[in-house]
Structure 1
Amino acid sequence: MKKVGLYFGTFNPIHIGHLIIANHMAEFSDLDEVWFVITPQSPFKVKKSLLDNHHRLRMVEEAIEDNYPKLKASTIEFNLPQPNYTVDTLVHLGEKYGDKYHFSLMMGEDNLKSFHKWKNYEVILEHHDVYVYPRISEGEVNHQFLNHPKVHRVAAPIVEISSTFIRKNHKLGKNIKPLLPPRVWTYLDEMNFYR
């Protein structure tokens, strides 16, 4: 059974930091694949800066198409009722693919700090592993997760690039091209996004 790490995010846009982390997890942990789970636009809080689902999916597909056989794009959350919670997505994935894949969560250390506030986090930990990559952040991780047998720290590179930084600076006319996979830059530029 393949072990799949689920990398949740809006990927608005996907950038080289996302690829570095996902590829590192696929190559240097016991995960076989990493799936980018693209978080859909919530009908309850429409954000102007968030591109439509199909555009963000297209950019993820463009980013991984040629060089990343262990990375996949997932639209699993596009068809789930909103608002959606991670535990619900995991249940849905288990029902759909449970005979082929074992799913684990991937999250930055900053998210681990608030993990105890997630809906049914105990259920998640009962059935799934959590792979944590480092982030530069303030504050302590909740002690209950420090030595938890289902929480695995992976010594991935610390990448301080954000989609917010890319959008903001692209709008200001800065050259953000080196922060994006080439095909993502081409698509973003052709579609005139984030101007």
Structure 2
Amino acid sequence: MTPKLLFFDIDGTLLDYTGKMPASAKEALRQARLTGHRLVICSGRSGHQLSDWMFTDFDGIINCTGARVIFKQNVIYEHFVPWEDVRRAREVLEAANGVLVAQTEECTILSQESSILGEEPVILMAEDIAPSETVQMDKTKLLSFVTRLGSANSHTAILARTMGSPALVGVDIDQKYEGKLAIVDGYEGKFIVDPDREALTAYTEKTAG
């Protein structure tokens, strides 16, 4: 068999909704490598959104939606948006009350703070949240967010970590939770609705500590 270059997306392809790679995917990759194929990740993620294993377990990475190509841990191609184009895009978006999201190899940059939330700090529940909606949320009004869909390594979850906002994805939520007191534990992956006094006391002490 003639060796080929095999390209793989990350979220929802190599990784499941929990952000983990299934054993079946690991075995398929192992078999492909034994056959002599080259394994390449193809992703829209920027450099700071990639994990170390992606560089060591794969022959190459095409990231930034094709703006950078890495093969055998060497950058063989890169082309980024010229600053003048970024400036013009920012002017157009801000004139339309929009927000420019610029991803570099080191970080994600917002052109301005914007919000789709109300006046009071809340835990936002939704079926799913688009990255474009995530970046428009006022961090002072967003306690955390919980979604039914998505994965721990989805673009929205990555943006939430960049913003420093606790987030839970893949949670069985119900509309009846609206308006109720709740606790979001991002470390343990817990979403506690109508917590009892004992839970409130424990988490209050945990937060204070």
Q: TM-score, normalised by structure 1?
A: 0.29
Asked which structure has the greater RCO (Cα within 8 Å, sep 6+), the reply is 1
Larger radius of gyration: 2
Larger strand percent: 2
The structure whose residues are more often helix, as a share, is 1
What TM-score, normalized by structure 2, do the two folds share? 0.27
